[in-house]
């Protein structure tokens, strides 16, 4: 079976890591082009050495390539603002987009939760690194008990936050919060990101807080562990740092009232660590690795779903 040809727009850390992941052994995808706007970027230089077609003229440069007509999927690893332009430009040419920015034009996809839900979408959104790490945990809890409120804190090394990440902080928090609700199943979601300047750089850490009514704690714990295994299938460095924590919420607690739990319940806390595979990025940049791994898994599923159809 021939492999589906893809292009990557964005020759920075995320785009370059994604290119290497595809080239290292994707069974269903072939990188046909790497696109950037900086002709001297390391990503474009590596692509040229690997005999991948390149352009430093952005989306218009992709369209001008001879390879463009054969490309079916385009990964966008630029910024939310740039993606809005790329969406209009490329969907008009019949290309399907896998969006690694928090632009959220298309439906959210978090592979272990809703991978097969949007096989026909012209544009799928990979939420954010924090979303890919934490939405599965909220979904695992909500599979057992209604989650009235979910709050996540994503802490990443400042060295792993490039210009695109820093330019998209507002979109990060908004998109992640919405995905906690729409995909994770929380009635209300909130997201916080922390850029940690510590040296040596720290591995990505995520904390997930859920407020829930009374529940079967063993069932919640089992659901969380099962979901962690699903994520670990494509992000081997994804792990729980300790057992799931349950703290009773006192009746009359103000936070519980605001979350719709006037008669108490449980405050569930899940602590995560995401270590990168170090294909291109350092191992501490798990935030970027989980994005590229999730995007690759999603695109492969879209490609095989198309073939199967």
Annotated binding site for NAD(+): 11-14, 160-168, 287
Cβ atoms of 209 and 150 closer than 8 Å: yes
> Which CA distances in Å does 63 have to 18, 33, 292?
20, 11, 23
Please identify every residue annotated as catalytic.
Answer: 129
Query: Do the bridges between strand 204-212 and strand 265-274 make them parallel or antiparallel, or are there none, so unpaired?
Result: antiparallel
Cβ atoms of 190 and 119 closer than 8 Å: no
> Which residue, among 195, 213, 191, has the nearest Cα to 261 in the 3D structure?
213
Distance CA 15, CA 100 (A): 9
Cβ atoms of 75 and 31 closer than 8 Å: no
Phi, psi angles (nearest 5°) of residue 232: -65, -20
Task: Report CA torsion sign: 175, 181, 185, 191.
Answer: positive
Residue-level length of the chain: 309
């Amino acid at each position: 079976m021939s492999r589906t040809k893809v292009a990557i727009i964005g020759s920075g850390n995320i785009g370059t890591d994604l290119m290497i992941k595809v080239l290292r052994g994707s069974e269903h995808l072939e990188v046909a082009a790497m696109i950037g706007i900086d002709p001297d970027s390391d990503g474009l230089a590596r692509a040229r050495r690997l005999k991948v077609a390149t352009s430093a003229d952005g989306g218009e440069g992709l369209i001008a390539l001879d390879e463009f007509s054969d490309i079916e999927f385009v990964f966008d690893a630029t910024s939310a603002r740039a993606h809005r332009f790329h969406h209009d430009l490329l969907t008009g040419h019949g290309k399907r987009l896998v969006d690694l920015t928090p632009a959220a034009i298309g439906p959210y996809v978090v592979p272990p939760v809703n991978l097969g839900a949007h096989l026909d979408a012209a544009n799928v959104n990979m939420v954010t690194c924090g979303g890919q790490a934490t939405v599965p945990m909220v979904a695992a809890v909500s599979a057992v008990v209604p989650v009235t409120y979910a709050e996540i804190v994503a802490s990443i090394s400042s060295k792993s936050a490039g210009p695109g990440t820093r330019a998209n902080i507002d979109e990060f928090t908004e998109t992640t919060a919405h995905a906690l609700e729409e995909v994770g199943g929380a009635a209300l979601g909130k997201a916080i990101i922390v850029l940690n300047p510590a040296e040596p750089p720290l591995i990505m850490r995520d904390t997930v807080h859920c407020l829930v009514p009374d529940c079967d704690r063993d069932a919640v714990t089992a659901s969380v562990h099962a979901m962690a295994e699903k994520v670990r299938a494509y992000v081997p460095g994804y792990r729980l740092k300790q057992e799931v924590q349950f703290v009773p919420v006192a009746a009359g607690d103000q936070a519980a009232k605001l979350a719709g739990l006037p008669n108490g319940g449980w405050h569930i806390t899940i602590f995560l660590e995401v270590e990168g595979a170090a294909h291109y990025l350092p191992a501490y940049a798990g935030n970027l690795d989980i994005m590229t791994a999730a995007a690759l898994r999603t695109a492969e599923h879209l490609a095989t779903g198309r073939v199967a159809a």
